[in-house]
Structure 1
């Protein structure tokens, strides 16, 4: 049997040395090395989406992979792709790191400098383990993207007031109504309003999980509020200053724990860039950026996308743009926003109909929004378009007249002048 091996090494010299040794292993098929944690997760996700049979048996992760800490990356791979054998390559082969790597889900550890004998032994052991797991669980049981351990979608606002939280809440409500086990996380750590939108008060928050290294299902359940809508809520801290406790590391651990328990995790990232929500956007299967069709918001969206690219958080073409408060008379249309930001605009824009929302927003009961609301219909249709609903749930029809035509006067001309600004 041929063993497929995916190396992950950020250092070009280390990658070359690893590939040279792997090419000497009998019955092995090494892939082209991936340079960072984002590329590794993207590659595995893309392969798993095609078929579980496309996944490599062994992933070799070098200690200097970056930007994600290597043990957190191993934990994420083990949770999302449980039949892939992960082996850590490190200069510290001591018992403390070995124990930590095993706890994270690694199937072995190789010390540096690399030797052929140790590499061959660890790859063979991890491969045999992977094959055994797949045989034991069966093909359907290890297709992580379609069940618990499945998908994470982040919702970020180009600027304040564009409808980020409302969009995230409606996505979660739509997914839960379709039968998916859904969690909604408020990662707008200093100004989160998910609880206010759903009329929920709960003493626990994501900050209570920040200092915990191993988030067990019971610990997670203590921090989550099971709402009557069927959505599990992990709220932002009531005291905004506690948001500082939730750093990038804590966010990754919490997201990994939620991903292992729920079919869909919707994360409201707010509008401010922090280490925590950057980690969420980086690891998300779907990253949504919400804007309104006006010059200020679109320019803010462009700045956000550029910042994500500079920080290697997310590529523009891997970002989904949702246009909120759209009308057919809007001069800045979704197709133009797509062109300016280089993102992918959704087929369904969200209409400008605040009067439909005012009563439920003021009451803090957005779950009671009438099914005849054109805004609700559009957002639930969007949830279907983004693949957030269960397969048995057909998305609601698009609102009539949802054209993506571009008009070229007024604000459009201003945007075009500012594209390179």
Structure 2
């Protein structure tokens, strides 16, 4: 049986070199190369959705694949497609990188410039390992082979615009629609998700920061299962510990969550650090919450420009959500769209804090009245984003959302992490 090999190489010259050598290997069946990290993950997800047997035995990842760093990409492939063996091609084959590559899930490392004998030997060994894993999986071991969960970040144009409430209600709507959902508090210094949901907790996102191999059991130990069914991964009680969550740790955590939940909602707060930047970059959809006033809209514009300068997110890939909207205000969604250069959600959230105050003060925002205009708007927003779809007797009449896998309206970004 031929060994299927998928090259993941961004550089055109490297593509020619690698594919030429792979085509010369005995019993090798090189597949069409992919040119970035997102295309690789999407290709594997499409094949895995058919069958584990459709996956290539070997993936060859070039060190400059981009935009996601090669080691982070290897981690995601190893987590989501454990039957695939990954080989890293690198110009630095020293012991330090070798150990790091193994820790991230690679099965081998090959030095540049490529040599036929070394590549052939490593491909053969990794292919044999992959075949053995598939034989084991065939005995009934469960493996995640889906396309991966949808990741949505919710950030604030400034503090106090309703970021946390928005994130919580979107997660609740997704969970109510039948989609297993995780809600992550990435406002690491000042997160309030636990307060809004009346949760006492011992573990937080910090407990995962130093772990290089986030297994399903390790992840399950860190999350808090809320009465609503939501899986909560909370900010640390001691805000200074938030610095322990690096951008690298964030990528690992988000990848692990994406492999276990259909929907992952991250409350990123209003302050951008390395962890929040990594989350926004990886997200399938990035929401920026603003209120229709001059200060908040200026904050939204600053955030969008900063994301663009740091190459985290382009303006056109960001969706602004207008909270506390009234028809009387001078600043309306079309003007916000023009000022920020972003998309603006069709659903606006009305200004009606009176219906929220009791639930917020009691830390029971998950018990908001379904007849309330704010909850209705936020759950409608979840439907607009494809996280949930209203049943025939929708939530405004006391109904519930139901899941519809075909309703997800945004796709994995083509220039960001997959």
TM-score interval, smaller chain: 0.7 to 0.9
Contact 2:48/2:55 (<8 A) preserved: no
Gap regions ≥5 residues in structure 2: 24-28, 398-418
State the secondary structure of the residue aligned to 2:347: coil
1:41 aligns with 2:38: yes
Distance 1:295 1:395 in 2: 38
User: 1:95 offset after TM fit, Å?
Assistant: 6.1
User: 1:278 offset after TM fit, Å?
Assistant: 0.8
The one of the two structures with greater contact order (alpha-carbon pairs below 8 A, sep at least 6) is: 2
User: 1:217 offset after TM fit, Å?
Assistant: 2.8
May I ask how many residue pairs the two structures share in their alignment? 385
State the Cα RMSD in Å.
Answer: 3.5
Structure 2 residue aligned with 1:416: none
Distance 2:215 2:69 in 1: 20
Relative distance call for 1:205 and 1:246 in structure 2 (3 A) is same
Structure 1 residue aligned with 2:168: 169
Relative distance call for 1:392 and 1:170 in structure 2 (3 A) is closer
Gap regions ≥5 residues in structure 1: 35-39, 400-421
Question: Structure 1, residues 352-396: CA drift from partner, whole Å, max 9, x if none?
Answer: 21111111112211111100011101111111221223x796794
User: 1:325 offset after TM fit, Å?
Assistant: 1.3
Distance 2:365 2:209 in 1: 29
1:67-146 → structure 2 map (5 Å cutoff): 68-80=68-80, 86-93=86-93, 97-98=97-98, 100-116=100-116, 118-119=118-119, 129=130, 144-145=146-147
Distance 2:289 2:296 in 1: 9
User: 1:67 offset after TM fit, Å?
Assistant: 6.0
Relative distance call for 1:169 and 1:2 in structure 2 (3 A) is same
Structure 2 residue aligned with 1:275: 274
Distance 1:272 1:318 in 2: 19
Structure 2 residue aligned with 1:19: 16
State the secondary structure of the residue aligned to 2:8: strand
Contact 1:152/1:285 (<8 A) preserved: yes
Relative distance call for 1:281 and 1:32 in structure 2 (3 A) is same
State the secondary structure of the residue aligned to 2:71: helix
Contact 1:381/1:398 (<8 A) preserved: no
User: 1:296 offset after TM fit, Å?
Assistant: 1.9
Contact 1:19/1:30 (<8 A) preserved: no
1:8 aligns with 2:14: no
Relative distance call for 1:287 and 1:82 in structure 2 (3 A) is farther
Relative distance call for 1:157 and 1:315 in structure 2 (3 A) is same
Relative distance call for 1:309 and 1:173 in structure 2 (3 A) is same
1:383-394 → structure 2 map (5 Å cutoff): 383-389=382-388
User: 1:90 offset after TM fit, Å?
Assistant: 1.5
Structure 2 residue aligned with 1:381: 380
Structure 1 residue aligned with 2:401: none
Contact 1:80/1:150 (<8 A) preserved: no
